[in-house]
Structure 1
Amino acid sequence: MAVILAAMSGIIGGEVVLLGLIALPQMLRLGYDKNLAIGVVCAGGALGTMVPPSIVLIIYGLTANVSIGDLFTAAFIPGLMLAGFYVAYVLIRAYLNPAMAPVVEGPRASTAEKLRLAKGLFLPILVVIGVLGSIYGGIASVTEASAVGVLGVTLSTMIRGEFTIGLMKAAALQTLQTVGMIVWIGIGATALVGVFNLMGGIKFVSALITGISDEPVIVLLFMMALLFVLGMFLDWVGIALLTMPIFVPIITSMGYDPVWFGVVFCMNMQMSFLSPPFGPAAFYLKSVAPPDISLGDIFRSLLPFIGLQALAVAVLILFPAIAIY
């Protein structure tokens, strides 16, 4: 469900809150391990960073002057790979300790009941197919595909009998708030980078990074470490707008593909959504979690998933063809 939600919207906060409101209480009620349930909700909700149409990929494409369509194509398999890591981790933990994900007691649901419940996925999947299909099929640009998504969701709410003027107004206001926030962060970051550049800061940082080693891999790993540390304290939009004007020219000069680096950057930003003390996904979940779940509980639950994200970054660096095949 987290992958489907990510493919529908790419908005991390909404996915974490939705899963926290619907999935987390049910898992706790059925006796699932608290830490495992919290980790799955937070890490799964943050998949919107990687799975197209990711807003992180869009911002990277704009700052690095890279085709957003190419980024979406490159990020699709790595996004599913990361989701696969989460699935494998849950299965292994559950097999080693069945009490962590107990079998639901009572009679099993019939096939007819499962099919009836599965109908609820039909419209969301159609929206995903419409958005991603129009991009990958070359029918629409990324901007036009967003309009396809809006139309698909609007028609879905009409078919389900949930469409109201109040709903449309609230969605429009939320969109304006989100876009306004990103625009103002962009203005501030652009001004800062401009002044930084005039003072010779970009040349200084570029020389510092490239002077670390003659080995491109060492330079790349240093960039990844720097991004991880920045992600612990800063919002990803600010990180992208501050670092990409410096990092992308260096990456290109070392012979790396900027599309591949964009996917690696987004995978790194996955960790920033979970890593303390900033970890916005943890705060999103805390806002809707039961009162007995503390912020410390949430961050402790996220540690294995941060490790899986680091593993995914390492795999992408070792095997670039996963993204740029």
Structure 2
Amino acid sequence: MEWIALVMVGVVFLCLVLGFPVAFTLAGVATITGLLTLGPDFFNFLPSRIMGIMSNYVLLAVPLFVFMGIMLEKSGMAATLLKTMAQIFGKVRGGLGVSVIIVGTLLAASTGIVGATVVTMGLISLPSMIESRYNIPLATGIIASSGTLGQIIPPSIVLILLGTVLNVSVGDLFLAAILPGLIIVGSYIIYVLVVAKAKPEVAPPVARHSTDHISVQSIFTALLMPLFLMVAVLGSIFAGVASPTEAAAVGAFGAVLLTVIAGKFSFKKLVETSRETTRLTTMVFFILIGATTFSLVFRGLHGDDLILELIQSAQLSPDILVLLILLIVFILGFFIDFVEIIFIIVPIVLPILNAYEIDLLWVGILLAINLQTSFLTPPFGFSLFYLKGVAPPEVKTRDIYRGIIPFIIIQLVVLTMIYIFPSVLLFFTP
């Protein structure tokens, strides 16, 4: 029976690679396997498991943060930020690239929606970078990697989902993720400046006339909106005033307010934002329900006991076990989405992590950084697809693939650092 559970996992991944819908693949394979092996009465446990998910207060933050991100995209905040940052740093070699990274960071801390961030920056900054004679692979690498910062910089939907599955406080994950996120951002900036210094032709300064006439007021106005939202959302969580879900509600209201202040609000945009939020949230929760069905049958077949027995017989140390899990997640990131990895792999390995008494906060941050790379790794890196969809015709797919490699390496270096020095996570945590 235990080996049937592993066969079930293999069938699921085969179906995903063949393009079957994730939620229905998980639920369908698990249901068929469960009926044939455990009988229909076994599924009497399923309704209570699903209701436990639906009544999970923390998961309510997901639609609220999604709404906040989509509404802010429609407020035009990203365009204003990019223009202002380009004026500030444009005279420096690589300055336009640094501007895109800073804007990606601010948008990550304000929205956390990868697709919206990459598309917005691709539409606005990529033509400007090409016009400024930036090396195309470097330009695309900067935009695609900066757009994924919302996966590690709070408030991150990845961290919310990981916290729910790992049974770790989302607030603690947010605090622990701050320093790794800042290290990744700083590493991006250093890389761009070093490349611009070594090869001035790949990242020249912006033409002088486009960086003139910048006022303190325009800088203040451009930065005020994202900073206000960051303080309202993250500040309320870190100060203990609000839970992540309550802070997400504050963020959703703040996004509407900022859109009104920017003069971009309309009832039509509100309807579009609500519809897109409903679509994305429904997708996540359908996958979660499918994953719950899969996890129930997998444990009913004692698949978790078999994996634990295999690992213990192999005499793997806790550190090697975590390294093996990270390697598996990294490889899977080439082929499937982060939501699927969180809801399929993490529930399978969680009992093993608990048996080895491994710090789940540390594992959560390692997984978040690892999953961030899944947006950048071909052939199915979603950031690459988003960017290619809005890029000018002269930007080829191979340019995007070449440009992203150094930034993947940077993320893996930071991942290795957190793996070797887990105390880094304690910098902002109590």
**1:229 paired residue number:** 331
**1:30 paired residue number:** 132
Task: Note closer, same or farther for the CA distance 1:210–1:2 as it changes in structure 2 (3 Å cut).
Answer: farther
Q: Residue 249 of structure 1 aligns to a residue in which SS?
A: helix
Amino acid in structure 1 at the alignment position of 2:310: L
Which of 26, 32, 43 is the equivalent residue of 2:145? 43
Deviations 1:50-105 (A, max 9, x none): 00010000001111111111111111111111111111111111111111110223
Matches within 5 A, 1:1-325: 1-107=103-209, 109-110=211-212, 112-113=214-215, 115-325=217-427
| Contact 1:212/1:219 (<8 A) preserved | no
Deviations 1:17-57 (A, max 9, x none): 11111111111111111111100100000001000010000
Q: Residue 390 of structure 2 aligns to a residue in which SS?
A: coil
Q: Displacement, 1:123?
A: 1.3
Normalised to the residue count of structure 2, the TM-score between the two structures is 0.73
Counting matched residue pairs gives 325
Q: Displacement, 1:118?
A: 4.4
Q: Which runs of 5+ in 2 are unaligned?
A: 1-102
Amino acid in structure 1 at the alignment position of 2:421: F
Structure ID, larger Rg: 2
Deviations 1:127-183 (A, max 9, x none): 111111111111111111111111111111111211100111111111101100001
Q: Displacement, 1:219?
A: 1.4
In structure 2, C-alpha distance between the alignment counterparts of 1:75 and 1:212, rounded to whole Å: 32
Q: Which runs of 5+ in 1 are unaligned?
A: none
Task: Note closer, same or farther for the CA distance 1:144–1:306 as it changes in structure 2 (3 Å cut).
Answer: same
Amino acid in structure 2 at the alignment position of 1:82: I
| Contact 2:295/2:348 (<8 A) preserved | no
C-alpha RMSD over aligned residues: 1.6
In structure 2, C-alpha distance between the alignment counterparts of 1:209 and 1:228, rounded to whole Å: 19
| Contact 1:283/1:295 (<8 A) preserved | no
| Contact 1:49/1:270 (<8 A) preserved | yes
Q: Displacement, 1:244?
A: 1.3
Q: Displacement, 1:107?
A: 4.5
Amino acid in structure 2 at the alignment position of 1:205: I
Of 156-165 and 103-112, deviating more is 103-112
| Contact 1:210/1:219 (<8 A) preserved | no
Q: Displacement, 1:106?
A: 2.8
Normalised to the residue count of structure 1, the TM-score between the two structures is 0.95
In structure 2, C-alpha distance between the alignment counterparts of 1:99 and 1:231, rounded to whole Å: 34
In structure 2, C-alpha distance between the alignment counterparts of 1:164 and 1:70, rounded to whole Å: 37
